[in-house]
């Protein structure tokens, strides 16, 4: 049985300013991006980390990173996203 105490279960938060966030909309609902794909330039970003997109103190997107492949990550926020669904 695996020793859960020896596994790294910590996640980090990747904070990006909304004006600087370049993304592709993978899924949308009513014109709001709920699943986004974005370039990952930090090699320390891992699955389970949190993506937080801010405009000043306003949260535009807050979701878990659920996939990383080929230098791009996919994150999901199906309940609180206010990012427009167009690609940026």
- Structural contact between residues 31 and 79, judged by C-beta atoms closer than 8 angstroms: no
The distance of Cα 61 from the centroid of its chain, to the nearest Å, equals 8
CATH 2.40.240 fits 11-76, yes or no: yes
Per-residue confidence band for 4, with pLDDT thresholds at 50, 70 and 90: very low
Half-sphere exposure of 12 (CA within 13 A, CB side): 8
Mean pLDDT for the stretch of residues 69-74: 96
pLDDT score at 49: 97
- Structural contact between residues 65 and 74, judged by C-beta atoms closer than 8 angstroms: yes
pTM as predicted:
0.85
Taking phi over 0 as left and psi of -120 to 50 as alpha, with beta for the rest, 22 belongs to beta
Domain boundaries, given as residue ranges, for the chain: 11-76
Per-residue confidence band for 2, with pLDDT thresholds at 50, 70 and 90: very low
Instruction: Give per-residue pLDDT as tens, 31-67.
Output: 999 999 999 999 999 999 999 999 999 999 999 999 9
Listed in sequence order, the DSSP H helices in the chain are none
Residue 5: pLDDT above 80? Answer: no
pLDDT score at 8: 52
């Amino acid at each position: 049985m695996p020793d859960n105490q020896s596994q790294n279960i910590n996640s980090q938060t990747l904070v990006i300013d909304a004006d600087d966030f370049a993304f592709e909309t993978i899924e949308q609902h009513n014109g709001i991006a709920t699943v986004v794909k974005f370039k990952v330039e930090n090699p320390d970003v891992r699955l389970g980390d949190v993506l937080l997109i801010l405009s000043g103190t306003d949260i535009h997107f807050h979701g878990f990173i659920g996939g990383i492949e080929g230098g791009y990550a996919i994150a999901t926020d199906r309940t609180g996203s206010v990012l427009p669904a167009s690609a940026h």
